[in-house]
Structure 1
Amino acid sequence: METGMISATTAATTTTNKTATAKNALDKDGFLKLLVAQLKNQDPTGAGQDPNQMVQQLTSFSSLEQSQQTNTLLTGLQTQTAGLFQAQTAGLVGKTVKVDGSGFNLKSGQATMNLELASAANVTVTVRDATGNVVATLPQGHLNRGASTLAWDGKDASGTPLPDGAYKVEVSATGDDGKAVSFRTSLTLKVDAVTFKDNGIYLASGGNIFSLADVLEITA
């Protein structure tokens, strides 16, 4: 059923594109035919003829031809650039990247997340499961300004190991004056695959999908 639906959609899209292309070609050809016919049937030296108008018509013909050639060249360059960029992006497979975001991807009792503080702060991390229930509260104590790595052993408040998977994280950071301190969180992941879809590029890592635009850092 799914294949049939895709084929029908593709056929309808192809028909629409052919119709649009045919209409555009007819408009262009019609303009050229009318212009050429007019040039053939007028004498620029005859009475009542305006030489300036003749020059303008010839200029229009030349400009149209140049625009068509330019559009063809730009389309070709765009296709080549997109293919080259995709090939380069495929080289990210196996690389380690730092991605904008938050959360713990628990695996075999280990999970980490990066935290960057604008200034020194007292930090507490709250961990929630997929249903939103709090499974652990992790006081981090007083952390200095700059980058830190938050680690979790995958155990809940009673010390029971939790299953592997993705867990949501909430960070609370307050200064010694009790005011909130701004921070940024990120994840360090290894790229398993690169996907091209919806006119975008996405990276996959351990079942997680994220946009190439979210990548903050790439390492070997």
Structure 2
Amino acid sequence: MKKKHSSFTVYLGGELFSLKHLTGNAWLAEAIYEVSHGRFRCVLPQDAVEQRGRSARAIRDANLRALLACDLALFNFDGCDLDSGTVVEFMFAKFADIPAVLLRTDVRRAGDVHSEPWNLMAGSFPRTASVIVPSLHDYRGALQRRQRQRVDHAMHLAGQQSSAAAQLVWEDVAAQCVRAFTRVLAMEPVMPKHLREEVYQWLALAPALGGKQKELRKEFERHLERKVERDLL
């Protein structure tokens, strides 16, 4: 029987290249926190301090270390081609046996299998759940409902209707993600107990993270201890 914990941290992996990406990540993180009543708190790589001036490798290292420190992970799998950085983070999460949720709000069919509309090599991993949302259809439906209400509220502007409709869709997506988090938390770890220490020692070495190896191993050991204490491994 798994113990119940009051809150969990969720690494939110996804594109960070435009304002739409940045604001979308922030809206989703806030909606997840609100819908889950604080049970799930997203960690956003885009909010990391002192990113400017850092090397590409230092940013990569910081993101991988932040991912491993989290209890769960949520990866945005939108796009005709998945964002390569997000896929790398997802694979690292799976090597660490971190419960993960794959979110796709892109209505385009871009995959090899109908049930998972992305490259088949990114599918079928254990302790992983998918949330696939027809966002354009959901947004238009929410907008039409708001516009019907507008008949009785003529002072509302069209922009306010669009914003309200978008908020409703985000709240629904967040609720689906929260339910998926609950599902993956209930899944048993895949990593055998007798291999946990060796695997996490290897994870500290495999990406060639910058810094002293002894300190990195201790850091990863602390992450492992915390995950074991919280029945995540």
Say whether the fold is shared (TM-score over 0.5): no
Q: Report which of the two has the higher share of strand.
A: 1
TM-score (norm 2): 0.21
Greater gyration radius: 1
